[in-house]
């Protein structure tokens, strides 16, 4: 079974971290997000993956070398400019051999049962199946409305904040597509799965189904600072089971230091005396001097924080930045 991963977005909500590193290569603990995703896919016998990438596809070369050893074959479909979510899939057409095939947003971390989802898709004889999940505030996601047979009646991408959204399913960013759906996407132009492909397919009465995941399913879109921090914390605390039988061994991960609450610390970091850290993610080679307070923030690689400084409020400090002593960020 084959999967396409959409990794061609600009990751604007995680800037400046994503200015030089694509979102998919940001670490969750010290493992690139995409390696985590590939490990999840291997659990469902998905070993053949194509990245639909628009930004610096060469940056993925190291990942490819590593993943071959782990058992996943990674190919890269390049977009010379971002073609949107559906345009990216169409652009990767020559890599698609299997029907059906999975398509996954390159920023979701989940233990959704993809094997069950595939069984469901086949049983329903769907053209497309969308994994569905419930979240507290659905307004920043794609809303999906179903009939009693779980056929999709309506799809609304990110409703205006003013519209009160009742508790409903959202698009979890994981799809199974039959190859025929590619004929619904125009060639070489920007096209969106969420705003064009799904609404048009529904207008044309095509069989799109929703696969509601059980409420115990873990699911997170890592694309905002708070969610990225949360994914790092969750991964350390409870998602170890993802890798129980995988080549990504526990020894790859850095244990969370108890004295710093909910903080994930990368390789070769130095933290001074009387410095408090809470809900932070430190990438590799960060140095924080004495008497600092850091809460709810992300520090890029090689960041230096001078003594008596404070960094808070979902701040992201970009790679190689130096914060002078006594700063308030
Ligand atoms: N190849 C390619 N080309 N990929 C793209 C492009 C593009 O032009 N634009 C975005 N992507 C990729 C992003 O890299 C990301 O992995 C994925 O498509 C989704 O884009 P986001 O920008 O993260 O979208 P979102 O999180 O706001 O909303 C999407 O995900 C939600 C679930 O997390 C939508 O699919 C929502 O409907 C969904 O609920
Ligand atoms: Mg996203």
pLDDT at 252 exceeding the cut of 60: no
Distance from Cα 309 to the centre of ligand 1, integer Å: 35
Whether 82 lines ligand 1, by a CB cut-off of 6 Å, is: yes
Question: What average pLDDT does this structure show over 225-235?
Answer: 92
pLDDT at 299: 96
pLDDT at 31: 86
Question: Distance between CA 316 and CA 114 in Å, rounded?
Answer: 33
Whether 173 lines ligand 1, by a CB cut-off of 6 Å, is: yes
Whether 79 lines ligand 1, by a CB cut-off of 6 Å, is: yes
pLDDT digits over 49-59, tens only? 999 998 777 78
**According to CATH, what is the number of the domain 2-236?**
3.90.550.10
pLDDT digits over 109-137, tens only? 999 999 999 999 999 999 999 999 999 88
Distance from Cα 277 to the centre of ligand 1, integer Å: 31
1 touches 101 (CB < 8 A): yes
Question: Distance between CA 232 and CA 302 in Å, rounded?
Answer: 19
pLDDT at 139: 85
Mean pLDDT taken over the chain: 90
Is 261 considered catalytic here? no
pLDDT at 60: 84
Whether 171 lines ligand 1, by a CB cut-off of 6 Å, is: yes
pLDDT at 179: 96
User: Which residue, judged by its Cα, is nearest atom 28 of ligand 1?
Assistant: 141
Question: Distance between CA 84 and CA 239 in Å, rounded?
Answer: 31
Ligand 1 closest atom vs CA 7:
14
pLDDT at 253 exceeding the cut of 60: no
Whether 210 lines ligand 1, by a CB cut-off of 6 Å, is: no
- Which residue from 7, 139, 165, 173 has its CB within 8 A of the most atoms of ligand 1, so it is best to mutate? 173
Residue whose entry in the numeric block shows the structure tokens 């061994």: 249
pLDDT at 61: 81
Percent of the chain whose pLDDT exceeds 90 = 70
How confident is residue 248, by pLDDT bands cut at 50, 70 and 90?
low
Q: Where in the chain is the domain with CATH 3.90.550.10?
A: 2-236
pLDDT at 289 exceeding the cut of 70: yes
Distance from Cα 107 to the centre of ligand 1, integer Å: 8
Percent of the chain whose pLDDT exceeds 70 = 92
Whether 142 lines ligand 1, by a CB cut-off of 6 Å, is: yes
22 touches 223 (CB < 8 A): no
pLDDT digits over 264-275, tens only? 999 899 999 999
pLDDT at 9 exceeding the cut of 90: no
User: Which residue, judged by its Cα, is nearest atom 9 of ligand 1?
Assistant: 9
Question: Distance between CA 43 and CA 250 in Å, rounded?
Answer: 16
Instruction: Report the alpha-carbon angle 267-22-64, nearest 5.
Output: 80
The residue from 158, 179, 227, 247 that is catalytic is 158
Whether 85 lines ligand 1, by a CB cut-off of 6 Å, is: yes
pLDDT at 256: 61
Strand partners of residue 221: 108
pLDDT at 320: 96
pLDDT at 261: 85
Q: Is 92 helix (H, G, I), strand (E, B) or coil?
A: coil
Question: What average pLDDT does this structure show over 151-176?
Answer: 85
Residues contacting residue 203 through CB under 8 Å, at least 6 positions apart: none
User: Which residue, judged by its Cα, is nearest atom 1 of ligand 1?
Assistant: 8
pLDDT digits over 64-99, tens only? 888 888 889 999 999 988 999 999 999 999 999 989
pLDDT at 177 exceeding the cut of 70: yes
pLDDT at 163: 61
pLDDT digits over 182-218, tens only? 999 999 899 999 999 999 999 999 999 999 999 989 9
- Which residue from 3, 4, 6, 227 has its CB within 8 A of the most atoms of ligand 1, so it is best to mutate? 6
Question: What average pLDDT does this structure show over 307-327?
Answer: 93
pLDDT at 260: 85
Residue 153 CB neighbours (<10 A) = 11
pLDDT at 313 exceeding the cut of 90: no
């Amino acid at each position: 079974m084959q999967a396409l991963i959409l990794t061609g977005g600009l990751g604007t909500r995680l800037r400046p971290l994503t200015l030089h590193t694509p979102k998919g290569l940001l670490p969750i603990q010290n493992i690139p997000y995409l390696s985590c995703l590939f490990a999840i896919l291997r659990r469902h016998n998905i070993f053949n993956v194509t990245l639909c990438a628009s930004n610096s596809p060469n940056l993925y070369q190291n990942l490819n070398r590593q993943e071959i050893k782990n058992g996943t074959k990674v190919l890269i479909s390049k977009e010379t400019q971002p073609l949107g979510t559906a345009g990216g899939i169409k652009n990767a057409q020559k890599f698609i051999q299997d029907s059906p095939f999975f398509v996954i947003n390159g920023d979701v971390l989940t233990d959704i049962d993809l094997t069950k989802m595939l069984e469901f898709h086949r049983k329903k004889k769907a053209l497309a199946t969308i994994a569905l999940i419930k979240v507290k505030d659905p307004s920043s996601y794609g809303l999906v409305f179903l009939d009693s047979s779980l056929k999709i009646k309506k799809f609304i991408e990110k409703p205006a904040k003013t519209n009160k959204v009742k508790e409903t399913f959202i698009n979890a960013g994981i799809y199974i597509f039959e190859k025929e759906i590619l004929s619904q996407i125009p060639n070489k132009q920007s096209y969106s799965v969420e705003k064009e492909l799904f609404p048009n397919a529904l207008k044309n009465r095509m069989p799109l189904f929703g696969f509601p995941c059980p409420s115990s399913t873990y699911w997170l879109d890592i694309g905002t600072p708070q969610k990225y921090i949360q994914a790092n914390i969750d991964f350390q605390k409870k998602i170890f089971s993802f890798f129980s039988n995988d080549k990504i061994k526990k020894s790859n991960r850095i244990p969370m230091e108890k004295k710093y609450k909910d903080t994930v610390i990368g390789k070769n970091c130095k933290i001074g005396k009387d410095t408090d850290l809470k809900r932070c993610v430190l990438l590799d080679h960060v140095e924080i001097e004495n008497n600092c307070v850091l809460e709810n923030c992300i520090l890029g690689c090689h960041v230096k924080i001078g003594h008596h400084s404070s960094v808070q409020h979902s701040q992201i400090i970009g790679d190689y930045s130096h914060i002078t002593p006594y700063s308030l960020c």
